[in-house]
Amino acid sequence: MTFPVDVVVMAAGKGTRMKSSKPKVLHRLGGRALAQHVIDTAARLSARSVVVITGHGADQVEAGLTAPAGGATALRFVRQEPQLGTGHAVQQAAPVLPDDGVTLVLSGDVPLTRADTLQALIDLCGGQHLALLTLDMANPTGYGRIVRGADAAVQAIVEQKDASEAQKAITEIYSGIMAVPTRLLRGWLARLDNRNAQNEYYLTDVVKFAVADGQTVKAHRISDAVQVAGVNSPVQLAELERAHQRRLADAFMEQGVRLADPARFDLRGELACGQDVEIDVNCVFEGSVSLGNGVRIGANCVIANARIDDGAVIHPFTHIDGEKLGVGVGAGALIGPFARLRPGAQLGAEVHIGNFVEVKNSTLAAGAKANHLAYLGDATVGERVNYGAGSITANYDGANKHRTVIEADVHVGSNCVLVAPVTIGAGGTIGGGSTITKSTEPGALSVARGKQVSIANWQRPVKKKG
């Protein structure tokens, strides 16, 4: 039996314990907002729609979340003002939920529930039953308890503040996640009241309504606490970040990636790895990064929005950030240590970029080398060029950027300034210390510097005695 799934994400809370002006659901885990994780998981379920309930900081939340890629899952927002409890929140979403589907209720601050877990819950619901996601916890303090009858069927969820001492001893807790036929949910929402310790409308009361109506309430119990862990404070966010990163690290190691220490690995975007990839400690990957076969990443590198081809070596403390233009590193290239590749850097095979070299919006053809203390901006560099230490392309005239072309087999000496726009002809040589303002002919030696003057027996000034 197939039926449409509509996901409701509760994201209206203030998150006081975060002690932040930013709404809680926009705090980031693995480089994405907490609630964005939830939305993206809904898309993996092929949900028909995602309805996000906003309240505190609604404008920020609505601006900070995006529909999943692909466009198959629609994203819309409804507001809960004022915030009168979880049941009241879902009441705000009810008018936009079609009766022909199943409503899956998720929390915007619970980011790591797996799609297969949620699919199992939906299957348990089957379009007919109220299904709850539950967890056994050694210390269930603060969570709603699952109350079962003599036949072990779910009878109710009792919130911590309303629980008796006997009920507080129950270790099976409600995760806050449920799947329920929308046609049944609508009627139960209409029966909610706020006669409880918090004077709020509890969504969990739908369980007792279902039992009263003779409906079967089912529970899908899991043992993985991380999947239902919420974020209420910076401490919890940090703990969940490490759990998330360890899961990612384990998955990469299972694919064959060699991580020097999985506890010191951070992925804040998407990472694709070929065979025999090695990643040292304290590396951060952001945006979209691909590593080819045999790539080695040294310690303490930050790499964002880049493609690194087979056999390339990124030495320690290198910073690569392609932003929107991207960065490409060719096969067998050697980068760093302490190198910086900025947007638009495209390096060919066997290119060498050494320590304290910065490359921006430039292409370097196969075999080109800039081994230390240099800047290449808005440049086109040919094959086998050797670019000397301390040399720069002066690409900015104060108003506009200009391009420098260095043709194949050029040798640029140390401490040179190439003032763009300029072309250095193939096979040419630029003498050290030169400032080049005019294009040069192929094969030419070009030197542009002041004449050396030496004065014999020069006496430096002597400091006068007081």
**Of residues 37, 244, 372, 411, which has the active-site annotation?**
372
Q: Cα 29 to the chain's mean position, in Å?
A: 7
Phi-psi region of 284 (alpha: psi -120 to 50; beta: other; left: phi over 0): beta
Q: Which amino acid is at 73?
A: T
C-alpha angle 264/298/327, rounded to 5°?
105
**Closest to 83 measured CA to CA, from 180, 203, 184:** 203
| DSSP-assigned beta bridge partners for residue 165 | none
In this structure, the strands spanning 435-436 and 172-181 are unpaired
How far apart are the C-alpha atoms of 447 and 432, rounded to whole Å? 8
Count the neighbouring beta carbons within 10 Å of the beta carbon of residue 316: 16
In this structure, the strands spanning 346-347 and 363-364 are parallel
| CA 109, 73, 188, 93 torsion-angle sign | positive
DSSP string, 309-376: -TT-EE-TT-EEE-TTT-EEE-TT-EE-SS-EE-TT-EE-TT-EEEEEEEEES-EE-TT-EEEEEEEE
**Any alpha helices (H) in 163-233, and if so which ranges?**
165-168, 182-190, 206-212
DSSP reduced 3-state for 377: strand
**Any alpha helices (H) in 221-368, and if so which ranges?**
234-254
* CA distance readout (Å), 100 to 97, 118, 186, 264: 9, 19, 12, 47
Q: Does the active-site annotation cover 372?
A: yes
| DSSP-assigned beta bridge partners for residue 284 | 266, 302
Q: Which amino acid is at 434?
A: S
DSSP string, 113-130: --HHHHHHHHHHHTTTSE
CB 130 within 8 A of CB 184: yes
| DSSP-assigned beta bridge partners for residue 287 | 269
Two tokens, residue 445: 């030696």
How far apart are the C-alpha atoms of 190 and 401, rounded to whole Å? 64
CB-based contacts of 34: which residues, under 8 Å, 6+ apart?
24, 25, 26, 27, 28, 108, 109, 110, 111, 231
- Which positions are catalytic? 372
